[in-house]
Chain A
């Protein structure tokens, strides 16, 4: 099956710093999404981005489908950005999401 790898596994930053999270996938995908899991466990949809670039406030994402990777950028980090960021993909003809192992982000005040 398709493999989804995220890096780095852990990231600790000071408030105000910028960060880049990476997601590599092993095969062509129909859909790619980024989620944020907050410290209470709730998953929040950030981006639906099978290709191209999108921005939402301090967050932006870019997917280069031909090279099978996606990047999530977080600028001017805030403590509320802490949590785990997951990349998840679906393949053609399938509904189910395949999740990467996540990047655990800790923003210190």
Chain B
């Protein structure tokens, strides 16, 4: 499998600020990365799919100008929540896949609290 890290693991910020979350593949070159959000006691909701070097593909209803995704290399993808508001508070999880992997491997998640 693949080992995936996320940083930070949790973050508290004030309303109106921007927050960047990093997702790193520690031992695998990930051609595709995914970003999910999960509200308490709910399922995972896919936000966007990103391929290295290409623009991300966003799911219906996800604002691409609010959730900026950059997949700059085969080992790093970032999600920036711009002008965060309390309703953006959630658990954000990344996953990755690539050649030779039969499934997605998930990071440990980032808890975001916007005050």
Contacts and interface: CB of A to CB of B under 8 A. Distances in A.
Interface of A: 31, 33, 35, 40-43, 45, 48, 86, 95-97, 99-102, 104
Most A-side CB within 10 Å, residue of B38, B43, B95? B43
What 7 pairs between A and B have smallest CB-CB spacing?
A43-B106, A41-B109, A99-B43, A99-B44, A101-B43, A42-B108, A96-B46
A42 to B, nearest CB: 5
B43 to A, nearest CB: 5
A48 B42 CA distance: 22
B37 to A, nearest CB: 12
Given A96-B34, A96-B49, A41 B93 contact: yes
Interface in B71-115: 91, 93, 95, 97, 102-106, 108-109, 111
A70 to B, nearest CB: 15
B25 interface: no
A16 B49 CA distance: 40
A86 B44 contact: yes
Contacts of A42: 106, 108-109
Interface of B: 1, 32, 34, 38, 41-44, 46, 49, 91, 93, 95, 97, 102-106, 108-109, 111
Contacts of B109: 41-42
Nearest to B59: A96
A95 B32 contact: yes
B107 to A, nearest CB: 8
Nearest to B48: A96
Contacts of A48: 102-103
A87 to B, nearest CB: 10
Nearest to A47: B103
A2 to B, nearest CB: 13
Given A95-B32, A96-B34, A41 B43 contact: no
Contacts of B46: 96-97
A45 B108 contact: no
